[in-house]
Homo-oligomer: A and B are copies of this chain.
């Protein structure tokens, strides 16, 4: 009857992406809550940690694929609650460098430990191969979407 080779599959995948995105954010908020952190906040801290050295806000934003301003605001909040610290940048008077504070690092590590526990639970039900295939497919879709409509800035 209807043409099963057109957009139905992509519609379904889009729906699935929206739903799983929401579920991931909710889970991230839950495991960060005991430390006063949210998904957005500890993801930023994770990007700082992953870099291995102090980063500027703009560098972190690029690594996360977010706007500079969005990361800047989260970072300001994190500094207020003492989770990160700003260091002077010898190479740039305005662009200070972000590092996780000792307290921030402790919180982040506990969150990562909890996330690792949850990951193991989740992966008991989901074959690693399927997750890897999905990653590859979603990345390909992302590239195709960006190719059709490049983001500004």
**A interface residue numbers (CB < 8 A to B):** 5-7, 9-24, 26-27, 30, 65-66, 115-116, 118-123, 125-126, 128, 130-135, 137-142, 144-146, 148-149, 151
Distance of A151 Cα from B27 Cα, bound (Å)? 9
Distance of A24 Cα from B66 Cα, bound (Å)? 14
Q: Within 8 Å CB of A144, what residues of B?
A: 121-122, 125-126
Does the CB pair B10–A131 fall under 8 Å? Answer: yes
Residue in B26, B126, B141, B149 whose CB lies within 8 Å of A151: B26
Q: Within 8 Å CB of A140, what residues of B?
A: 125-126, 130
Residue in B6, B17, B26, B119 whose CB lies within 8 Å of A10: B119
Does the CB pair A130–B119 fall under 8 Å? Answer: no
Residue in B27, B126, B128, B131 whose CB lies within 8 Å of A149: B27
Residue in B23, B121, B128 whose CB lies within 8 Å of A9: B128
Q: Within 8 Å CB of A142, what residues of B?
A: 16, 19-20, 23
Q: Within 8 Å CB of A116, what residues of B?
A: 6-7
